[in-house]
With several copies, the nearest count.
Chain A
Amino acid sequence: KRNVFMEAFEKIDRNLRAIFKELTDGDAWLEVEKPDDIFQGGIYLMVRFPGKKPKESLMLSGGEKTITTVAFILAMQSAFKSPFYLLDEIDAHLDAINLERLINILYDRSKESQIILITLKDVTLSKADKIFGVYQREGYANVVEYTPGIKVKEAQQ
């Protein structure tokens, strides 16, 4: 059991380092609390953003936590490949730079697994292969399909 666990752990850790580097130019990694007795301890998610000291993921800002969470989810993909992702307004607290980087990496990953993103932001909409608009009419919810390239304001009825 320990071996299987550590194999998955190593894979995820390796992936996390690569993805986080691509997203922020900083570093992220996993640390085992009790190497001699893994299942009695926890796993730390350590993060170092450019220009800052390394910290546990708990002590980050709102936007930094978003980036760290997405990096971790994508890193898990390497060990447990999921066929689809449902992400609901994960871009809400990101600045323009982090948003652009995040959407680029999600776009790359969408070649391997289907990614469905609910968003109110144009940048996130701009990369989509397909866009759905949800709107309310006479008390019923309806869905309409848009051709890619439409802006959020045009799609919000």
Chain B
Amino acid sequence: IYIKRIEIEGFKTFGKKVVLNLEPGYISVTGLNGSGKSNIFDAILFALGESSLKTLRATNLKGLLFDGGVSGARSSKAVVSIQFDNTSREIPVDSDTVTFTRELRENGESVFKINNKHVSKQMVLNLTQLCLISPEAFNVVLQGMINRIAELRPDERRRLLESLV
């Protein structure tokens, strides 16, 4: 499994649709301060079911919709799709790619889809946890958080291991 494609539209600074086609291996993202690099990671977590506003760095759900910047109109919905390569069938879905999509409307409602079929949020969380692609796992280090793991208290570290076993 690896992330094959990311599509973002109407989410944070991505007022217009952007598409990233990825490969397995080592991928690097760079750009000026405030250009939208960390927002891409927020978009990935968002599509995989992340619900904490603190993690997504927003004061409310509406704050995830593109605010129009200086030029455009505010987006009325945010849509993020993450397509995984699944030729190894590690994700228990019978297709070569599995696409997780989340749509957020102005009323704060989220719609989740897997391979374009409506599913519940719980279904997304179960599936991502099963294949360790859930944001909860220790594989995501958000900006400024790198020292947190070294600073965990011993009991917190035990609980982290316990939760993964």
Q: Which A residues contact B (CB, under 8 angstroms)?
A: 1, 4-5, 8-9, 12, 33, 38-39, 41-45, 49, 51-53, 57-70, 72-73, 76, 79-90, 92-95, 97-98, 106-107, 110-111, 113-120, 124-125, 127-136, 138-143, 145, 152, 155-157
- A130, B23: Cβ atoms closer than 8 Å: yes
Q: How far is the CB of A52 from chain B (nearest CB, A)?
A: 6
Is the contact region of chain B dominated by helix, strand, or loop, or is it mixed? Answer: loop
Residue in chain B with minimal CB distance to A73: B138
In Å, the complex CA distance between A148 and B128 comes to 31
Whether B37 lies near A134 (C-beta < 8 A) is: yes
A-B contact pairs, 21 of them (CB 8 A): A8-B165, A41-B154, A42-B157, A45-B157, A53-B70, A60-B34, A63-B34, A68-B149, A70-B146, A73-B141, A80-B138, A86-B142, A87-B141, A90-B141, A93-B144, A116-B41, A117-B29, A130-B22, A131-B29, A133-B29, A143-B19
How many chain B residues touch the partner (CB < 8 A)?
A: 74
In the complex, residue of chain B having the shortest beta-carbon distance to the beta carbon of A116: B27
If A60-B34, A132-B20 are given as contacts, then 15 extra A-B residue pairs at C-beta distance below 8 Å, sorted by A number, are A44-B154, A52-B34, A53-B67, A64-B34, A68-B149, A70-B146, A82-B133, A84-B133, A92-B146, A93-B144, A98-B32, A141-B14, A141-B35, A143-B18, A145-B21
Q: What residues on A are CB-neighbors of B109 within 8 Å? A: none
Chain B CB within 10 Å — which of A81, A82, A118, A157 has the most?
Answer: A118
> Is B15 touching A139 in the complex (CB atoms < 8 A)?
yes
Q: Within the complex, what minimum Cβ distance (angstroms) separates B3 from chain A?
A: 6
A20 to chain B, nearest CB (A): 12
Q: Kindly state the separation between the CA atoms of A86 and B133 in the bound complex, as whole angstroms.
A: 11
The residue in chain B whose Cβ has the minimal distance to the Cβ of A132 is B29
> Across the interface, do A62 and B26 meet the contact criterion of CB distance under 8 Å?
no
Q: A115 contacts B147, CB within 8 Å? A: no
Given A66-B147, A84-B133, does the pair A42, B156 have CB atoms closer than 8 Å? yes
* CB pair A65 B161 closer than 8 Å: no
